[in-house]
Amino acid sequence: MKAALHPGRLLARRYRLLDQIGAGGMSVIWRARDEVLDRLVALKVLAPSLAADARFRGMVREEARAAAQLVHPHLTSVHDYGETVDPDGSITSFVVMELLSGEELELRLTEGPLPLAEAIEVGAQVAEALAAAHRLGIVHRDVTPANVMMTATGVKVLDFGIATRIGAPDEDEDGETFGTPAYVAPERLDGAPAQPSTDVYSLGVLLHEALTGRVPYPADTWEQLSAALAAGPPPTLADLPDLPPPVARICLRSLARNPADRPTARQVAAALRDQLLPADPPAATIRVPTRPLPPQPATVPAAAGGPAAGSGWSRRRLVLLLVLAVGVTLAGVALLPEDEPRPRTQPSVAPATTPPSDQPVPASSAPSASTPPTKPSTGSPASDPGTLVEAANRVDGLISAGLGAGEIRDDVGLDLRNELRNLTAAVSSGRDELAPPVARLREKVAVRLGEGGISPAYASRLDAAIVELGGAEV
């Protein structure tokens, strides 16, 4: 008799099933505990009716293999693939994934369109995830709100169950198209090979729905989709007067009938991100001290027929000093912004004598998520942190400076920026108060410091800027 899946069953002598949390046409999702690493995971178990077919098991294994290559903050992490043989000889096939906490975008959209900033943020994060997949030659082929999970750390693109390689046939073995009709690109109806542009079309549909609450071409069947594409007017976003024109343009370009007219996922992400990120901080002003030149020795009158002894060296030294002074001054002027803003004083979480970033910092100066914000030194009072965007701009500028100086690892910089963007979007849309995401961002800095992804000096500076961000005007 086949061993049924039930709470408490152990798969592969490692994964203890806890409870069923989802089900689809091909699989069942279980919450489980990895008893080797002592952590909660999600198990996607192939339906028993399909597990007997080696072809379907191969599909699940290939899905796991493809998804395991994708390491990105907005893609679900795949940890393992396994198979167990039951007493009757049947096989249970499963994929082990990170366990997510949140709600599907599909459920959120039942309440209507998202707030503008949140819709743009969701679109940007999904585009960034797809760009990462496309760089590895993988096409998702089922980008829909049902496959986007809204979590506390941003969106996660789910389910690479029908993903394939770029250029692979875009049909099943019977020549049929698969996917969700309203989100399928027109060329897929003609069986064109899988291309990143088909994912971009689906992304355009998703973004259109997040902005308006509706898809451009409503359809539940392939016949309805064909009819809607043939008779329906081109999509428009003219009824959203507050929508930034660059967002409208990139969304409608993604929905172009001709795949060659669509942008790449990376271009979509960049266009949307430009509407969310605060501007780069102004260049730092370099103040060149003006000190009088040292007095020069008096020139000895020249003897008849030639210069005085030593006067030629004195003149050359004077000219050299003048050239150096002018050159340094011009270099400082070149770095001045056209309209120099009034400098703000950053609150400090370390003593005023914090060593420069190129010197080691004692471990005691590292920030901790559990440590309350340290009051600024009385000798350097903090100014008003300004608006949320201004304060976020300063944090983003510090991240840029740390990346450029090699004090912050690239992956850590991306992680911190994503957390900062999530914070800005959540607070701006009213979904969250400022204090909780600020605490999460400080905790992330502390964790990344412990991992060695940020130097202690930059971690201290970032923590100070994030503390200031917590007092920003929302």
Can you read off the two tokens belonging to residue 302? 């020249």
**Rounded mean pLDDT, 243-261:** 95
Kindly indicate the confidence band of residue 193, based on its pLDDT and cuts at 50, 70 and 90: confident
**C-beta separation of 206 from 123 below 8 A:** yes
Residue 344 has pLDDT above 80, yes or no: no
Please give the residue that has the higher pLDDT: either 9 or 331: 9
Q: How far is CA 177 from the centre of its chain?
A: 32
**C-beta separation of 163 from 170 below 8 A:** no
**Rounded mean pLDDT, 440-465:** 87
Question: What does the pLDDT read at residue 258?
Answer: 92
Which of 55-64, 130-139, 316-325, 336-345 reaches the highest mean pLDDT? 130-139
Can you read off the two tokens belonging to residue 319? 């000219």
Please give the residue that has the higher pLDDT: either 196 or 378: 196
Question: What does the pLDDT read at residue 161?
Answer: 63
Write the CA distances from 194 to 128, 202, 424, integer angstroms. 19, 13, 36
Can you read off the two tokens belonging to residue 328? 């340094």
pLDDT tens sequence across 376-431: 333 333 457 788 888 888 998 899 888 888 899 877 888 788 788 888 877 877 76
Q: What is the crossing angle of helices 410-428 and 116-135, to 10°?
A: 160
**Rounded mean pLDDT, 209-226:** 91
Q: Where are the domains of the chain?
A: 10-98, 102-274, 366-373+383-469
Answer CATH for 102-274 from 3.30.420.40, 1.10.510.10, 3.20.190.10, 3.20.20.20: 1.10.510.10
DSSP 362-383: -GGGS--TTSPPPPPPTTS---
pLDDT tens sequence across 153-170: 899 998 776 677 788 776
Kindly indicate the confidence band of residue 190, based on its pLDDT and cuts at 50, 70 and 90: confident
Kindly indicate the confidence band of residue 23, based on its pLDDT and cuts at 50, 70 and 90: confident
**C-beta separation of 198 from 141 below 8 A:** yes
**Does the fold of domain 102-274 match that of domain 10-98?**
no
Whether the model pTM is above 0.85:
no
pLDDT tens sequence across 257-304: 999 999 999 999 999 999 886 544 544 444 444 455 455 444 434 333
Phi, psi of 427 (to 5 degrees): -75, -40
Among the residue ranges 89-93, 254-258, 388-392, the one predicted with the least confidence is 89-93
Catalytic-residue membership of 142: yes
Residue 144 has pLDDT above 60, yes or no: yes
19, 142, 358, 396: the active-site residue: 142
Q: How far is the C-alpha of 141 from the C-alpha of 157, rounded, in Å?
A: 12
**C-beta separation of 218 from 228 below 8 A:** yes
Please tell me whether residue 332 adopts helix, strand or coil conformation. Answer: helix
Q: Is 444 annotated as a binding residue?
A: no
Can you read off the two tokens belonging to residue 164? 């394939």
Q: What percent of the chain shows pLDDT beyond 90?
A: 29
Residue 25 has pLDDT above 80, yes or no: no
Residue 56 has pLDDT above 90, yes or no: no
Which of 36-40, 186-190, 313-317, 441-445 reaches the highest mean pLDDT? 36-40
User: Of the candidates 260, 223, 253, 261, which has an alpha carbon nearest to the alpha carbon of residue 235?
Assistant: 253
Torsion over CA of 167, 134, 273 and 118, rounded to 10 degrees?
A: 90
Phi, psi of 131 (to 5 degrees): -60, -40
Can you read off the two tokens belonging to residue 369? 């998520």
The average confidence (pLDDT) of the chain is 76
Q: How far is the C-alpha of 317 from the C-alpha of 311, rounded, in Å?
A: 10
Name the CATH topology of 10-98. Answer: Phosphorylase Kinase; domain 1 (3.30.200)
